[in-house]
């Protein structure tokens, strides 16, 4: 399971999230393992059922207002109730003042206490988005990722089969390279795969016989982009007479990356075959599918209609006894 520490959160996003540390460096090694935050209002009032203690606890104006209605002894009792768990940290929103009892208890139990000047809803959205990105499942694929007509095509296949050369031709035709050779993939949400390049190799490409080239320098900034959603995998395979390749398109075979299914198109490679033009057709065909138009099914329906008409005409002639 991936995790980040409270110290890493501060190092990466202290300025962006307007975070202020109220308890010194106490407990900054505590781990954050869930992106969602929790508002502990019910827990403060005494109901501990389903208390999500493993999440960052956000104390906003509602929780602060409730604590102010309590006597000092009841306030301490209420705060000790939620801090009895191994909380990652507690964050006070909207720049509200921290109750002295809360500061003392957090210091005693080594729970980081922070404050932000941001509105509660805005802060939770930004915080969860950052942590979700940091904790997202990731993998690395040997391939090439290109933005073709706004669609992310991930090229895979054996080394030397022509993935980089295909991407280079697509860039020359006006499309954009995201990553070559090493594609890092991150899962966002339940069904989105985001691909990006290694920081060291970003926008560089190895062409056999030439060496390493920088596409951003040669073609300009319009030829590259930092990241792109992966929507289709294009698998390049050397032609084999024994292989049964898809010819109609009715039998679609998906592939799975990080638990997310995306369409898989297998393209047999032979000398002289224009893979870049085929790639553009793959992208446009996928866009048509997204819009609800599926060419193989339309063709199949027209074929069945034609066969039905011929059958009806033949039956009419057979039944005509005159």
Distance, CA of 92 to CA of 97 (rounded, Å):
8
Specify the pairing of strand 151-157 against strand 232-238: parallel
Is 164 marked as binding a ligand?
yes
User: Catalytic one among 199, 208, 241, 247?
Assistant: 247
Active site residue 228: no
Active site residue 142: yes
Is 95 marked as binding a ligand?
no
User: Catalytic one among 142, 222, 302, 309?
Assistant: 142
Distance, CA of 51 to CA of 137 (rounded, Å):
26
Is 272 marked as binding a ligand?
no
Is 189 marked as binding a ligand?
no
User: Catalytic one among 18, 181, 187, 188?
Assistant: 181
Is 195 marked as binding a ligand?
no
User: Catalytic one among 99, 115, 163, 176?
Assistant: 163
Is 206 marked as binding a ligand?
yes
Active site residue 181: yes
Is 157 marked as binding a ligand?
yes
Distance, CA of 282 to CA of 289 (rounded, Å):
11
Per-residue HEC secondary structure of the chain comes to CCCEEHHHHHHHHCCCCCEEECCCCCCCCCEECCCCEECCHHHHHCCCCCCCCCCEEEECHHHHHHHHCCCHHHHHHHHHHHHCCCCCCEEECCCCCCCHHHHHHHHHCCCCEEEECCCHHHHHHHHHHHHHHHHCCEEEEEEEEEEECCEEEEEEECCCCCHHHHHHHHHHCCCEEEEEEEEEEEEECCCEEEEEECCCCCCEEEECCCEEEEHHHHHCHHHECCEEECCEEEEEEECCCCCCCCCCCCCCEEEEECCEEEEEEEEEECCCCCHHHHHHHHHHHHHHHHCCCCHHHHHHHHHHHHHHHHHHHHHHHHHCCC
Active site residues: 142, 163, 181, 247
Pick out the residues of the known binding site for Mg(2+): 164, 206
Residue numbers belonging to the annotated binding site: 157-164, 206
Numbered residues of the known binding site for ATP: 157-164
């Amino acid at each position: 399971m991936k995790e980040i520490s409270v110290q890493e959160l501060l190092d990466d996003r202290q300025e962006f999230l307007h975070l202020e540390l109220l308890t010194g460096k106490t407990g900054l090694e505590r781990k954050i393992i869930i992106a969602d935050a929790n508002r502990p209002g019910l827990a403060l009032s005494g109901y501990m059922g389903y208390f999500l203690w493993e999440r960052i606890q956000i104390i906003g104006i509602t929780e602060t207002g409730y604590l102010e209605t309590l006597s000092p002894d009841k306030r301490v009792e209420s705060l000790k109730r939620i801090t009895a768990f191994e909380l990652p940290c507690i964050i006070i929103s909207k720049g509200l003042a921290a109750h002295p009892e809360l500061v003392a208890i957090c210091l005693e139990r080594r729970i980081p206490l922070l404050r932000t000047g941001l509105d509660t809803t805005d802060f939770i959205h930004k915080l969860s988005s950052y942590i979700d990105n940091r904790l997202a499942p990731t993998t690395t694929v040997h391939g090439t990722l290109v933005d073709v007509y706004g669609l992310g095509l991930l090229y895979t296949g054996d080394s030397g089969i022509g993935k980089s050369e295909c991407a280079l031709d697509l860039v020359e035709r006006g499309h954009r390279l995201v990553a070559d050779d090493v594609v890092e993939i991150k899962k966002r949400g339940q069904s989105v795969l985001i691909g990006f390049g290694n920081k060291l190799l970003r926008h560089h490409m190895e062409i056999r016989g030439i060496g390493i080239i920088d596409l951003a320098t040669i073609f300009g900034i319009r030829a590259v982009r930092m990241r792109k959603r992966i929507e289709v995998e294009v698998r390049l395979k050397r032609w084999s007479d024994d292989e049964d390749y898809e010819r109609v398109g009715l039998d679609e075979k998906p592939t799975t990356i990080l638990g997310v299914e995306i369409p898989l198109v297998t393209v047999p490679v032979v000398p002289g075959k224009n893979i870049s033009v085929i790639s553009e057709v793959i992208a446009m065909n996928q866009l048509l599918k997204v819009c609800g138009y599926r060419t193989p099914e339309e063709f199949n329906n027209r074929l069945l209609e034609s066969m039905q008409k011929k059958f009806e005409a033949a039956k009419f002639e057979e039944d005509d006894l005159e």
